[in-house]
Amino acid sequence: MPIDKNEKQRLQEKARQHRTDIVNVTEWAGGAHIGGAMSMADILTILYYKFLRIDPARPDWDERDRMILSKGHGGVGLAAVLGRRGYFDMALLRNFNKFKSPFGMHLDCRKVAGVDASTGSLGHGMSMAVGLALGARLQRKSWITYCIVGDGECNEGSIWEAAMSASHFKLTNLITIVDRNSLMIDGRTEDVMALEPFADKWRAFGFLVKEIDGHDFDELNDAISDAREKRQAPVVIIAKTVKGKGVDYMENEVKWHYGSMNSELAQQARRSIEKMHSA
Ligand SMILES: Cc1ncc(C[n+]2csc(CCOP(=O)(O)OP(=O)(O)O)c2C)c(N)n1
């Protein structure tokens, strides 16, 4: 079902808050993988505020949907949305990635409520998602597994092994979303290790492919709603995004894959986010 104007406004407000939280946590931590957290901010927003069947008061609830952040370096984004959704006190994020904090740069599912798998070594999360989806089927459970994969991460052969098995086992209870921001750690994906024709590759592996604007809540909503209903093959949503989205000086700048901000830059980032979300 399409989203109405009110719901879209609500999601946009959540996304504005989420992006501001990411800037704040990055400032407190003295640095984080902010570029890729900003690119997937709208994806995480619609998942955590609309689609995921979860209960922050019961992080281990067996019937919950699962969400694996395969591009685990985006932990700053996941931690921000989990805190805001009420899994833990947001104030704890003041110690993000500090000595003795439960929050490392890559989140540990044994230490942070709401994290379904410890990730960070690229290429592993999707295999874990395949395992969870198979597990749900074997146990006759109705929960859905979502997996967010980086496009640079798709240089990892293990992503394609996972894709091959998801398709072989017809895992229609798995929804993969690729954050297609076209940048990775050290350059453009197409320069470092070309992915195109990317959608065709997923199709060749047996996936139903949806290509969308990953910052457009109407398109995200339609693609995810549809993926939840169509049941012939696993679905991948290739969400075209902008690395650093929302902060003018970070957008499409590879150097902001990982970055730190002094208070002046952080203030500038918050102003930029306000401007984008009020336009
Ligand atoms: C196995 C492995 N190799 C290398 C790295 C280092 N690394 C961290 S992020 C990154 C680039 C990932 O690019 P992408 O998936 O496009 O992430 P995004 O642009 O969305 O942040 C690399 C190579 C890693 N975490 N794991």
Q: Pick the atom of ligand 1 nearest to 120's CA.
A: 25
Kindly tell me if the per-residue pLDDT of 148 is higher than 70.
yes
Q: What is the pLDDT, as a whole number, of residue 278?
A: 87
Buried b or exposed e, range 28-56, using 16+ CB within 10 angstroms: ebeebbbbbbbbbbbbbbbbbbbbbebeb
- Give the burial class of 181: count Cβ atoms within 10 A of its Cβ; 0-12 exposed, 13-18 middle, 19 or more buried: buried
Domains annotated on the chain, with CATH: 5-278 (3.40.50.970)
Q: What is the pLDDT of residues 29-76, one digit of tens each?
A: 999 999 999 999 999 999 999 999 999 999 999 999 999 999 999 999
Task: Determine if ligand 1 sits within 6 Å of the CB of residue 36.
Answer: yes
Q: Among 153, 177, 256, 258, which residue has the most ligand 1 atoms within 8 Å of its CB, making it the best to mutate?
A: 153
Q: How far apart are CA 57 and CA 170, in angstroms?
A: 32
Say which residue the tokens 């952040």 belong to.
Answer: 69
Task: Determine if ligand 1 sits within 6 Å of the CB of residue 260.
Answer: no
Antiparallel, parallel or unpaired: β 66-69 and 174-180: unpaired
Per-chain mean pLDDT for the chain: 97
Antiparallel, parallel or unpaired: β 235-240 and 145-150: unpaired
Both tokens of 222, joined, read 């339609």
Percent of the chain at pLDDT exceeding 90: 97
pTM here? 0.98
Residue 230: pLDDT band by 50, 70, 90 thresholds?
Answer: low
Residue 277: pLDDT band by 50, 70, 90 thresholds?
Answer: confident
Give, as one character, the DSSP assignment of residue 241. Answer: -
Antiparallel, parallel or unpaired: β 174-180 and 235-240: parallel
Q: What is the pLDDT, as a whole number, of residue 155?
A: 98
Q: What is the pLDDT of residues 160-188, one digit of tens each?
A: 999 999 999 999 999 999 999 999 999 99
Q: How far apart are CA 140 and CA 37, in angstroms?
A: 34
Q: How far apart are CA 260 and CA 159, in angstroms?
A: 30
